[in-house]
Structure 1
Amino acid sequence: MNQFQYVRPAQVPGATKAITNGANTQFLAGGTNLIDLMKMGVVAPEKLVDINNLPLKKIEGNAGGISIGALASNTEVAEHPLIKANYPLLALAINAGASPQLRNMATVGGNLMQRTRCPYFFDTAMPCNKRMPGSGCGALEGYNRMHALFGASDKCIAVNPSDMNVALTALDATVHVSGVKGKRAIKISDFHRLPGQHPELDNTLQKGELITSVDLPASPFNKNVHYLKVRDRTSYAFALVSAAVALNIENNTIQGARLAMGGVAHKPWRLTETEAFLKGKPVSLDVFKQAAQIAMQGAKAYEHNKFKLTLAPNTLLQALKTASGLKA
């Protein structure tokens, strides 16, 4: 690990100024992802701006829903009474991630910024356009079992590894950021990027911008919900495929649906066409099977992840059945 400068500002303006003044500077919160990357030589920041003293830990309800501070830990969010009562899908997704020890350290802002777990990204001896633009994508012709089904490009087929991000996407979160140019709000659907020609860019943050909070709107999707994560082992493993499902059901009819998948794209994959199909439909196995097939439109597999073409719709189907209480 290279030597680096370390600063710990007490206010947001000082943090954003400190990050802007350095060409190779990064924010440090829980460090559960960044420290690993530094140890492996994947990133080598010249300065770390520790933001743990910033007043960004509050979780509080408001007239429009709830605001979650960027420095709230994953555990604090998942266990908060307002989250458990009004946004149980988010609690389920967070508790499916990593381990209790990591959830105690990891923050909401850090989870939003989490980098891919592609082995070619982590191995500095291998080509990776995300780590070193222009070097190539080792996964394209290499071992690509964990990789994308949707939205990939010839530059990168890696996936976003977060569970929390999948639920936030389904729940229409808004990410609030602050920088030297002021504050702005970013819809979660616009926060993460598909790889395109620039896979080194994971999100749409501008230089020096700091995530300050995440807001969730008031939602009727607080009863018929489920987060299903399929992985190689039940602890401390990333999703092969995951499905976040929230249904608003009245008299056995689906009034609305919020759906997203993880482990299938460079960003959490929102299933808007599937949501539209489900609206107004009765709760039934046949309807859910059709929905699962609609969700797979446009999917493209690679040599080692072809099994996901079956696993992904089956995961969504099971999550729909569980969320709705369907026993068939």
Structure 2
Amino acid sequence: RMTDVADHPDVTSNYPVISEALLLSASPQIRNMASIGGNLLQRTRCGYFRDVHTACNKREPGTGCSAIHGENRMHAILGTSSSCVATHPSDLAVALVALDASLRLQSGAKERLVKLDDFYLLPGDTPNRENQLQPGELITEVRVPSLPWARKSTYLKIRDRESYEFALTSAALALDIDGDTIRDVRIALGGVGTKPWNLPEVRPALAGQPLKEETFTTAAKLAVNGAKPLSQNGFKVELVQRTIVRALMKLGDLA
């Protein structure tokens, strides 16, 4: 269950970003019942996907995307297509993508290992296909690399209310530092992408740089390269940059 993993001492000590992401998900009642695999496979919370009376390519391919010209404040600005702009809802997935986690998928005697970042698919012209899971396959294992500096990690979630709410923006970060210098960083975003949004291109912009707010601000601008805001969610372009900077300030003990 989500609560069991969030409270496990090995997770809280070695992968705090995972524990924090889980505890900021859903409600206590749901966390006490929901499984890890179920969380990773949950469908989008887009209102048009949930409303069977509206056009939605994810629910019914070829009918159109009502969100593009409709209510789209909560929708994605990264990884979108003309077929779908829905965000991925899992907080846990964002944390796991940041840590370069993999899934073991099994069907009968056959099994395969897939990077979580590759497991989730961009909508393209087939938004109804959200991941690589094949009929008959089950998630049997979540594998997280042993990174000593994952102990210095965090999950920051910005939302309209303090609990039981999906992210406007979120950031999962793990920081490797040597004194006042950044050696490496892992960053993934939630609330802004059609899948948990990995940011490998930000790593070289931070590696070797000093722990300063100016450094973080410059690197955060790279996170929104290619962003395509809609009529009501343009605020996410700036908000997600501030989310990254704030999380880095926290990890760098500068906040």
CA distance in 2, matches of 1:317, 1:125: 41
Q: How does 1:80-95 map to 2 (within 5 A)?
A: 80-95=8-23
- Structure 2 letter corresponding to 1:97: S
Out of 7, 29, 35, the residue aligned to residue 107 of structure 1 is 35
CA distance in 1, matches of 2:69, 2:109: 42
Gaps of 5+ in 2: none
Q: Does the Cα contact within 8 Å between 2:88 and 2:191 map onto a contact in 1?
A: yes
Given the alignment of the two structures, is residue 151 of structure 1 paired with residue 79 of structure 2, yes or no? yes
CA distance in 2, matches of 1:289, 1:165: 25
Q: Does the Cα contact within 8 Å between 1:178 and 1:210 map onto a contact in 2?
A: yes
Q: Does the Cα contact within 8 Å between 2:16 and 2:152 map onto a contact in 1?
A: no
Q: TM-score, normalised by structure 1?
A: 0.76
CA distance in 1, matches of 2:19, 2:170: 15
CA distance in 2, matches of 1:88, 1:151: 27
Given the alignment of the two structures, is residue 269 of structure 1 paired with residue 197 of structure 2, yes or no? yes
Given the alignment of the two structures, is residue 213 of structure 1 paired with residue 141 of structure 2, yes or no? yes
- Structure 1 letter corresponding to 2:236: K
Q: How does 1:203-242 map to 2 (within 5 A)?
A: 203-242=131-170
Q: Does the Cα contact within 8 Å between 2:216 and 2:245 map onto a contact in 1?
A: yes
RMSD (CA atoms): 1.0
Give CA-to-partner distance per residue, 1:132-189, whole Å, 9 cap, x none: 1111100011110011111100000001011000000001111001114611111011
CA distance in 2, matches of 1:220, 1:284: 23
User: Which has the greater radius of gyration?
Assistant: 1
Q: TM-score, normalised by structure 2?
A: 0.98
Greater RCO between the two (CA within 8 Å, min separation 6)?
2
Secondary structure of 1:138's aligned partner? coil
Q: Does the Cα contact within 8 Å between 1:224 and 1:249 map onto a contact in 2?
A: no
Give CA-to-partner distance per residue, 1:182-232, whole Å, 9 cap, x none: 111110111111101100011011111111110111012234322110111
Secondary structure of 1:291's aligned partner? helix
Q: Does the Cα contact within 8 Å between 2:104 and 2:113 map onto a contact in 1?
A: yes
CA distance in 2, matches of 1:224, 1:321: 12
Secondary structure of 2:247's aligned partner? helix
Q: How does 1:46-125 map to 2 (within 5 A)?
A: 73-125=1-53
CA distance in 2, matches of 1:297, 1:251: 30
Gaps of 5+ in 1: 1-72
CA distance in 1, matches of 2:14, 2:149: 8
Identity, in percent, stands at 49
Given the alignment of the two structures, is residue 184 of structure 1 paired with residue 112 of structure 2, yes or no? yes
Give CA-to-partner distance per residue, 1:290-314, whole Å, 9 cap, x none: 0111111111100010111111111
CA distance in 1, matches of 2:154, 2:137: 33
